[in-house]
């Protein structure tokens, strides 16, 4: 029964990514390479964020508010925005339209996030002896993250289409991080 629970939770967590890829025109335009490149960029940005968090932030012994530490956390959060910008502008994309490029980058970004943050806890915990709702909720959270991760590149695309000033990009990034 535990293997059944594990497979249900794994399908709930990773299945919508495959359904989105096959249900949209992404599969017709063969954008899997773009999604894989975006996933690799996400893994790189996650590694850089991990190193920056471990290097520059100190562990406080009490729960006091330190503005400098919070400012550093916000700056480190911009690494995701920079990685997404790199994935959208600097990676080579084979003969696909802008709409499909942004969808493929968002899908790769969301899948890498799901694998990185949810695969190990799912593998260890969902095969346990007791049934728990935590892993089902984790799968639902992955679905919401899929929608947000596809929405972020589309926001960049819309700002690029409207040719907004660079200050608008920074404001949008601040809203996106918060």
Output the tens digit of pLDDT for each of the chain's 178 residues. 677 888 888 999 999 999 999 999 888 888 888 899 999 999 999 999 999 999 988 887 887 888 888 899 889 988 998 998 899 888 776 777 877 888 999 999 999 999 999 998 888 887 777 767 888 899 999 999 999 989 888 887 777 777 655 556 656 666 665 4
Could you tell me where the DSSP H helices lie in 2-133?
A: 2-23, 32-56, 67-89, 98-125
Ordered by start, the domain boundaries in the chain are 2-177
């Amino acid at each position: 029964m535990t293997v059944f629970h594990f497979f249900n939770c794994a399908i709930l967590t990773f299945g919508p990514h495959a359904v989105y890829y096959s249900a949209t025109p992404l599969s017709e335009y063969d954008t899997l390479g773009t999604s894989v490149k975006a996933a690799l960029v996400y893994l790189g940005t996650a590694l850089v964020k991990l190193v920056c968090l471990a290097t520059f932030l100190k562990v406080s012994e009490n729960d006091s508010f330190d503005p400098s530490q919070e400012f550093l956390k916000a700056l480190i959060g911009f690494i995701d925005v920079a990685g997404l910008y790199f994935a959208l502008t600097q990676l080579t994309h084979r003969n696909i339209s802008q709409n499909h490029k942004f969808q493929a980058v968002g899908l790769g970004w969301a899948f890498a996030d799901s694998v990185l943050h949810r695969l190990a806890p799912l593998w260890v915990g969902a095969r346990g002896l007791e049934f728990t709702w935590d892993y089902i909720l984790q799968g639902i959270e992955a679905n919401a993250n899929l929608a947000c991760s596809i929405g972020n590149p589309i926001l960049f695309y819309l700002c690029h289409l409207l040719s907004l000033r660079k200050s608008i990009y920074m404001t949008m990034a601040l809203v996106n991080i918060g």
